[in-house]
A and B are shown apart, each in its own frame.
Chain A
Amino acid sequence: MKKNITRILTLIFITQVLLSSAYLIRNSYGTPIETEVGFGTKPNIDGVIDVAKNEWNSAEKLSIDLFPNQSEGLPIDLWILQADLSLNILVRFDLNDHSSSDYDNEFIGILVADWEDSLNFTDAKIVQFSNITENTFEYLDYYINDTVYYEDTTSNGEGAAILDGIEITYEFSMPVKNIEDGIEDVELDHGREFDFKIVFGNDAAYPGGIIISNIVSIYLEYPPGAPDIDIGELIMLTSTIIIFSTIGALYAFYIYRITQLKKEIERIRS
């Protein structure tokens, strides 16, 4: 009896440990934070939140940390706003070290992974400061091949940033459903979930300059009022079902004819 109780208690303990570790794994660094988008008008990408124009008003607003590891990270405000044909991301944070020249070459990058290939980041949009005190920066569009960053031949999207005291605001905008992006960019599309890695660094070298990061999974919704499925996709899906079900039906009919074959041979013979 005593043995059974000990066994049951051990089992409960092991289950508890397994469940808690699963919870810890789910919430630790490396697991994407899942979020949706807010819908609104595309903001001006200038690093300024124009309150008079209600910019970013309807954005999905998150507070996350950028980590080097599981220890306490850099808290940032992450705002996500989807307009009709663009995804806009705002990153804002305070950093006392902004006054130091160590952060003259500070950057925030948004790395994007294709929806079919989660966590494999192949596209990078970066706002890179060359002198933060003079507010000189450039927007860079890279594609990543085997951890090596290559500059895109055609830059897509836009980015800007402004430092105000110790608070810095980065704004990004990237096209959604832009079929002309080519292979250098991840083609963002409605109705799919994409992984975005927010990276921060203080040296204009990629990926070597990245100090801290975190991953967010964003589900890109169809614009309000738009049909839930793309017309082209719907036609393709319907055609696929019609074509393959017709072939399947004809095949089933042929199998039925085979089952009647012996009878038919006998009928021909007689």
Chain B
Amino acid sequence: MSKIRKDTVKSESPKRKSKFLEKAAYRSVILSGILGGVFLALSIILNGEFIVVFTSDDLLWVSIDIVLKVLIILLFFFFMMISIGNYKELTGKPIDFKIILLIFILSLIQSFKNSIVFSFAFIGLLVIVVYLYVVQEN
């Protein structure tokens, strides 16, 4: 009796695990996608300069403004990479270089209005790509 039970648990466990992982990945696709959308909306407002938050010429406020804009772009890229990466995994295809390049360009182009934001965003995006590549390799 006990043997039969044990076999059933053994055969169901990987299935359950894979279902759990699938659910977690699906949740991650949605949650990261939504967060990516939030940062895209913020980027449209700030990097699109539809609202200018800091008008002061003071170096401190200028720096805060730049850091905020760069961070928004980097977070958009990061969450979209996670979301699309998991999406691709769920559909059984790995995320390819073309998609990474597309998200990279779509993130970087958001900073086209400010050369300083562009430079820092470029460096930041490269760092994230290298980091994700190293993590993925490991």
Which residue from A183, A239, A248, A258 sits with its C-beta under 8 Å from B29?
A258
Q: Are B112 and A254 in contact (CB under 8 A)?
A: no
A247 sits at the interface (CB 8 A): yes
Task: List residues of A (223-270) whose CB comes within 8 Å of B's CBs.
Answer: 236, 239-240, 243-244, 247-248, 250-251, 254-255, 257-258, 261-262, 264-265, 268
A72 sits at the interface (CB 8 A): no
> In the complex, which residues of chain B have a beta carbon less than 8 angstroms from the beta carbon of A255?
33, 37
Interface size class of A (residues with CB under 8 A): 20 to 34
Residue of A nearest to B26 (CB): A261
Question: Taking chain A's interface residues, is the majority helix, strand, or loop, or is none over half, making it mixed?
Answer: helix
Interface size class of B (residues with CB under 8 A): 20 to 34
> In the complex, which residues of chain B have a beta carbon less than 8 angstroms from the beta carbon of A236?
113
Q: Are B90 and A261 in contact (CB under 8 A)?
A: yes
A134 sits at the interface (CB 8 A): no
Q: Are A116 and B55 in contact (CB under 8 A)?
A: yes
A264 to B84, CA, bound (A): 15
> In the complex, which residues of chain A have a beta carbon less than 8 angstroms from the beta carbon of B36?
251
B75 sits at the interface (CB 8 A): no
A261 to B52, CA, bound (A): 38
Other A-B contacts than A243-B109, A258-B30, A261-B87, 9 sampled, CB-CB below 8 A, are A116-B52, A117-B55, A240-B48, A244-B44, A247-B106, A250-B106, A261-B29, A261-B90, A265-B91
Q: Give the B-binding residues of A (Cβ under 8 A).
A: 116-117, 183, 236, 239-240, 243-244, 247-248, 250-251, 254-255, 257-258, 261-262, 264-265, 268
